Structure 1
């Protein structure tokens, strides 16, 4: 297993034989080595990874990952790659597949598209694949946390793990928001940026999916607190008012309550936009026809 300079596993490098997944041509032999190279030699990150051995060396599992930045799809798969080269199939919004570059890459890695308007099919697919021995990655917050705290969770991760009969494992990232997060431009070569990736113990899945989700949330909040303390110890100290620091730690990010209110406003706007598009489609207003009508209107207004 190739561990680039600057990557450290303080809890010890797992002595794990290579999993067959690691030999997948595109994901295992191209994407993962490229991700490690990019993190170390382009982004120049210092990375600490805690307890990658907690990810199963064989069989399925659901990895619940917190979400603070756009690179989390890459960073969230690194701990499992350090344990026998296991690969994570992330659930992601289907719009990513529309991108001419990202779409083929997502398909090549066998990630799972999610239709936000109707996620039932993707949940069934994730459950089938977890039961069949794959690692399924889920962001239970659904969207990036503007507050950089752990937001409220949807219960899909717990339901999939329960129905598939596989472990539910928390994975907490801290530091990715310094590289590229919501409302900020990406920093391709960040200065002194660092990451801590921590894998927690499997969560108790007894009871309802909501009860298991509450335990998952509690576990991830505790891991995040520990990770942030370690981050400050190793890579700090940091000045007050940093945009990437939560308000609770003296940063200028919005509070959890403020961020939650903004998320709900954005969700309402997306629903309205979806209803509008559906209504236009039902009325036979195609994008081309809409463009033509707008052109005519602008022409009349111009005269």
Structure 2
């Protein structure tokens, strides 16, 4: 597979992080397979997570093909980059195609990146995850690689102003031991175990983070550590309301298009 776009993007990102004095803590790189497929499963705290999750496997000389919503590929700026890096578009109305593409990549020896929470966690804890990552790993006969990212939420997360050029932000990336699910396993239990491992990694990253917020900056700290981020229950309610509003907007657009079609 030709890699014309991905390496320059990584070099550019690393140069920018150096200029901004982003201080990395990257642990567990020995768990990244030197070759062969794997499903990289990351928590999701910011819009920048795919960049940092991709850097997790960089020391091993690997690249990650992330599964991302189709809208990112439709964007005139991010779209060409995503396609050039051979990431995998996910169309929620045609999920079978993206699943097949991911399996093809895994069986071809690629690392496929998944944000199993589907959306950014407003509570900055690991939300309930679906069994898709586990089923994909089993179908391709590859390991699951859980990771946790902490710090990028300070630069750009849901409901907060972008601060992409913020300097001196520590970023923690912890890679856990691989899991090897197999056919016949209880997928629900394996998924629960995966979520628990991700939660443990994230809590470790949070508790050992070199900075502690004060005053108004406590928004980026989870509630269980004294921050003002929503609790998991409050975050779930916010997500529910957002989902309902999004569905209402889609229905309104569809109705408007139907009316235009009837009038034409």
Deviation at 1:240, TM superposition (A): 5.9
Task: Report the equivalent of 1:247.
Answer: 223
Task: Report the equivalent of 1:48.
Answer: 25
Task: Report the equivalent of 2:74.
Answer: 98
Q: 2:242 aligns with which of 263, 266, 271?
A: 266
Q: 1:76 aligns with which of 48, 53, 59?
A: 53
Deviation at 1:191, TM superposition (A): 4.0
RMSD, aligned CA: 2.1
Equivalent residues of 2:4, 2:84 under 8 A apart: no
Inter-CA distance 192–204: structure 2 relative to 1 (3 Å threshold): same
- Cα distance in 1, alignment partners of residues 248 and 100 from structure 2: 27
Q: Structure 1, residues 188-221: CA drift from partner, whole Å, max 9, x if none?
A: 3224311010100112414133222111001011
**TM-score of the two chains, using structure 1 as the length reference:** 0.81
- Cα distance in 1, alignment partners of residues 102 and 256 from structure 2: 32
Tell me whether 1:144 sits opposite 2:120 in the alignment. yes
Aligned with 1:212: secondary structure? helix
Alignment of 1:180-195 (within 5 A): 180-195=156-171
- Cα distance in 2, alignment partners of residues 120 and 264 from structure 1: 25
Q: 1:236 aligns with which of 202, 205, 211?
A: 211
Structure 2: runs of 5+ lacking an equivalent: none
**TM-score of the two chains, using structure 2 as the length reference:** 0.92
Q: 1:113 aligns with which of 68, 89, 113?
A: 89
Larger Rg, first or second structure (1 or 2) = 1
- Cα distance in 2, alignment partners of residues 184 and 227 from structure 1: 22
- Cα distance in 2, alignment partners of residues 198 and 248 from structure 1: 20
- Cα distance in 2, alignment partners of residues 171 and 262 from structure 1: 25
Task: Report the equivalent of 1:225.
Answer: 203
- Cα distance in 2, alignment partners of residues 279 and 72 from structure 1: 35
Which protein, 1 or 2, shows the higher relative CO under an 8 Å CA cutoff with sep ≥ 6?
A: 2
Task: Report the equivalent of 1:26.
Answer: 5
Deviation at 1:277, TM superposition (A): 3.7
Deviation at 1:237, TM superposition (A): 3.9
- Cα distance in 2, alignment partners of residues 274 and 134 from structure 1: 35
Deviation at 1:100, TM superposition (A): 1.1
Structure 1: runs of 5+ lacking an equivalent: 1-20, 294-303
Tell me whether 1:285 sits opposite 2:260 in the alignment. yes
Aligned with 1:272: secondary structure? helix
